[in-house]
Structure 1
Amino acid sequence: MSAQAIQVIVFFGITALIAFATYLKCAGHARSSDSNKEYFLASGGLSWMFVAGSITLTNLSTDQLIGMNGNQMALLAWWEFAAVIGLIILAKVFLPVYYKNNCTTTTELLEKRYGDKNIRAVIAALFLLGNVFIFLPAVLYSGSLFMKSLFGTELSIMFLAVCFALVGACYAVFGGLRAVAVSDTYSGILLLGMGMLIVYLAVAAIDFDFSGIPTERLTMIGGDDSPLPWHVLLTGMIFIQAFYWGTNQTITQRAMAAPNLKEAQKGVFSAAAIRLLIVPPMIVVPGIVSYKLYGDIGDAAYGTIAADVLPVWLSGVFAAAIAAAVLTTFNSILNSSAALYCCDIHEAYVNKDANVGKLNAIITIVFVGIALALVPVYAAQESIINTVQELYGLLSMPILSTFIVGLVFKDVDARAAIIAVVFGTLLYAFFVFVWAPFHYIHMMCITLFACVGVALATNRLVFGNKVSFARQQTA
């Protein structure tokens, strides 16, 4: 039997095993009469272990493993260290508010704080734009690229992307959040174990000797010309993390699906521990080692070194773990996107009594089609992780400003917040595409404060409202 045949057999065997274990875990749960809660919050039935596992693997996918290792420098570990702070903010600041207000989506909180359904729909639409046009195609492309590198297959990236999209859509449509979270957790155990094995084998491949690697590849203090200058850690980085972990439906949806706040917080803190102790070496060490072995090969670094250091049968296991990571991240984003559309837009403006199961299937198919059409665009980018982070700044800071204004102040007109969002999106677009005086993370910080200022000024000068500080909302 050929080596490639062994890889493929092991790959499909483990992939099927994860799917079967997920089915067994989910089959015994009765469906809730509340379709939204069942499809999008697993009827509040996720224990802390599944909250932690789903959060971890929803974020940790090929766009992280390939994109960050593709930079081939230690500096990118700061994204993971900063994420720990973001998870703490989620647990201590945002989750108590979401549970107190019994929210299905993060944007539902905005409707309750501003007393206006339009702002909920506007922010949901922005989240959807980011999910469908940025994250979904990025995940499909990076996962397909890894599989192509690992197996050395002649299959096109587009063909592999279609395969991932179809299987991920089935999870999202037929299983809902419960199936997504359970498969996340089972896959996460496998991925974290295999990821750390890759770290060890990669370092062993160079005899634990990092000599000869340029200092700028090993330092944790980034210069002005690096992807992550040290000073950005003091400005926009914390707000990026607060947005991503605290308000992003794809992430927070898992924590909002626990039986109670305490169980949700336990899961989030467990996810933070994984981020601090396990994930950082996984997303930088193989890339650094690959620089010594192969030179500057960019996003192909992770797949290339994994293929070289793993024995044949283990490469099949690792491929299954990576495929699971791609699928779970993809179907997680699909499920949260469907939640945003169904709950925040369709039920509010089209049909409040819609068949959630049927609507979920239709909208998922539409989102998958758009994502597949954009895969070639991401294939043309020099660094996928930098592209994703930079593009998402168009939406992230304007969105975060609505949460900050809504939670910190009262008597703010929703129209003022919406005007600020439009202003912030245009301002950041100007910074990125026309005039870039600073690093894009600094410009994200400037954009956030500008949005908050515009919202408060517009509220006072245009709508004649005087604001005051809101009472503490956390439990």
Structure 2
Amino acid sequence: MTPNTGQGKIVELSVSQFVVFLGLTGLIAFLTYWFCRGSAARGEGENGEKEYFLAGGGLKWYFVAGSITLTNLSTDQLVGMNGAQMALLAWWELAAVAGLVMLTFIFIPVYYKYKCTTTTELLERRYNNKHIRALISILFLLGNIFIFLPAILYGGSLFIINLFGLDVNLYVIAALFAVVGAAYAIFGGLRAVAVSDTFSGVLLLTLAVAVTIISLNAIGWDFSGIPKERLTMIGAPDSDIPFATLFTGMLFIQMFYWSTNQTITQRAMASPSVKEAQKGILAAAGIRLLIIPPIIVLPGIVAFKLYGDIGDETYGTLVGDILPTWISGAFAAAIAAAVLTTFNSILNASAALWVMDIHETYVNKKPNVKRLSLWVSIAMVLLGFAMIPIFNNPEQSIIDLVQRLYGLLSMPILSAFIVGLLFRNVNPYAMIIAVIAGVGFYGWATNPLGETPGISLHYIHVMALTLFGGVALALLLSTAFGKRPIWDAHNVFARAGHEEMSV
């Protein structure tokens, strides 16, 4: 069977596909409106921030689980990981379970204890300094705007074009995703984001499992002829995930992403209590363990046997070939929902960081939250859209490029959280210097957009070096600046977890 280039499939774009696509997309929008009606009024006045950024502290565990699952599961996973066409990338999702467990039992109780609205608020409280909070927020924002938003728009648009064989400029589809996704985040706040995530998640997971089973049936569940390196879970030293990295940087990547990243933790911080949040996170961990790994690697491996190595076009091509016409319309709606929910989740979290950590601190303590979030979101959408060409790179998969680039920010940010949680009496400016030095070190060591790294180590190993170096440098500089750090973990984690949500 030859690779599907998409040519000739334009005529197959039937009325049934279009009707199913619009019908399901409209149904998700209607259900979201129905469950969120009245929240706009609650988002005004003194409690506006709590309603807009934390859904009024009222998210039930099932909305927490659904939102966390679909906020993470988008085209950079389904398109990017299947595009790698190897089993090895399942480690990203299996290791994520450890990150969710850490969020459940270590970080979430502390966020509730300190009554945080943003994860970075914890840093201000621990370092007693607003500037460290602002710096980390800026790094989060840079990652969201220049890495995650464009990657999501690119991957989603590429999938839709390959699925339907559309002869349409990719940027037209990306623009449509950007406008609709921004509307959810701007006008609905976190409540609308979380509710739409949950309904979309049920649809996407159901169809993704179906695609996996149907694709395996297409090859008779026979993996013969597929190179061993594409089936192994033991990565060679020169592979995408060398086995040794599972014991160095991989664990810390998961700790950072699931436990300190505002886009993820914001959902868990929006429950009425720690126990409700923990139930939602553990449910998300169960989904991550049992369902996600097969759907993000098996279709790609099947596609390698059917088409050969076709990179990021894999998932859309496979789905377009194996699904009946009307079901492909449903799958397009599910993918569109995944793109939109991940996109609007990042926008809402980014708006929270900008409004609370930057604007209220340095510009205006009492802004109009919804109006300010509107303009901030528009600016971020435009910047993210402009960065799409970086990811239109046939030589490198989406997921690999995203992980390499985000290493510039993830480990320096995590070092600030680790030092802040484990020690007190740390000079905040020592930590600021260590964070900036970490960004510079990782950039030099890995050269993520270039060809010649400064250190001949896998970038995941370099992440571990960046983290340990940042922690050590902060402690040494603090001592040199006259403030000797004091171990304080027992006080931070003692009695954490019983407080109700409040802002």
1:409-448 → structure 2 map (5 Å cutoff): 409-433=423-447, 434-448=453-467
- Paired letter, 1:15: T
- How far does residue 367 in structure 1 lie from its aligned partner after superposition? 0.2
Unaligned residue ranges in structure 2 (runs of 5+): 1-10, 448-452, 497-503
- Paired letter, 1:4: S
1:44-443 → structure 2 map (5 Å cutoff): 44-380=57-393, 382-433=396-447, 434-443=453-462
- How far does residue 9 in structure 1 lie from its aligned partner after superposition? 1.5
Aligned length, in residue pairs: 474
| Structure 2 residue 49 is the aligned partner of structure 1 residue 31 | no
- How far does residue 206 in structure 1 lie from its aligned partner after superposition? 0.3
Residues of 2 paired with 1:3 and 1:393: CA distance?
Answer: 40
Does the 8 Å contact 2:13/2:164 carry over to 1?
no
Residues of 2 paired with 1:215 and 1:472: CA distance?
Answer: 50
- SS of alignment partner, residue 133 of structure 1: helix
- SS of alignment partner, residue 239 of structure 2: coil
* Alignment-derived partner of residue 6 in structure 2: none
- SS of alignment partner, residue 153 of structure 1: coil
- SS of alignment partner, residue 167 of structure 2: coil
* Alignment-derived partner of residue 467 in structure 1: 485
Task: Determine what percentage of the aligned residue pairs are the same residue.
Answer: 61
Does the 8 Å contact 1:97/1:473 carry over to 2?
yes
Residues of 2 paired with 1:20 and 1:316: CA distance?
Answer: 19
- SS of alignment partner, residue 438 of structure 2: helix
Residues of 2 paired with 1:2 and 1:245: CA distance?
Answer: 41
Deviations 1:381-407 (A, max 9, x none): 521100000000000000000000000
Unaligned residue ranges in structure 1 (runs of 5+): none
TM-score (norm 2): 0.93
Residues of 2 paired with 1:45 and 1:421: CA distance?
Answer: 34
- Paired letter, 1:315: S
| Structure 2 residue 468 is the aligned partner of structure 1 residue 455 | no
| 414-423 vs 433-442, greater mean Cα deviation | 433-442
Residues of 1 paired with 2:170 and 2:14: CA distance?
Answer: 18
| 56-65 vs 433-442, greater mean Cα deviation | 433-442
- How far does residue 208 in structure 1 lie from its aligned partner after superposition? 1.1
- SS of alignment partner, residue 436 of structure 1: coil
- How far does residue 379 in structure 1 lie from its aligned partner after superposition? 1.0
Residues of 2 paired with 1:294 and 1:4: CA distance?
Answer: 25
Residues of 2 paired with 1:309 and 1:378: CA distance?
Answer: 27
Residues of 2 paired with 1:416 and 1:38: CA distance?
Answer: 35
TM-score (norm 1): 0.99
Residues of 1 paired with 2:188 and 2:38: CA distance?
Answer: 13
Residues of 1 paired with 2:485 and 2:197: CA distance?
Answer: 43
- How far does residue 6 in structure 1 lie from its aligned partner after superposition? 1.8
Does the 8 Å contact 1:250/1:332 carry over to 2?
yes
Of 16, 32, 37, which residue of structure 2 is paired with 1:22?
32
- Paired letter, 1:469: W
* Alignment-derived partner of residue 7 in structure 1: 17
Residues of 2 paired with 1:228 and 1:98: CA distance?
Answer: 32
- SS of alignment partner, residue 264 of structure 1: helix
Deviations 1:140-183 (A, max 9, x none): 00000000000111111100000000000000000000000000
- SS of alignment partner, residue 402 of structure 1: helix
- How far does residue 71 in structure 1 lie from its aligned partner after superposition? 0.6
Residues of 2 paired with 1:165 and 1:237: CA distance?
Answer: 31
Does the 8 Å contact 1:123/1:399 carry over to 2?
yes
Deviations 1:336-382 (A, max 9, x none): 00000000000000001111110000000000000111112211252
Residues of 1 paired with 2:97 and 2:212: CA distance?
Answer: 21
Does the 8 Å contact 1:60/1:325 carry over to 2?
yes
Does the 8 Å contact 1:4/1:151 carry over to 2?
no
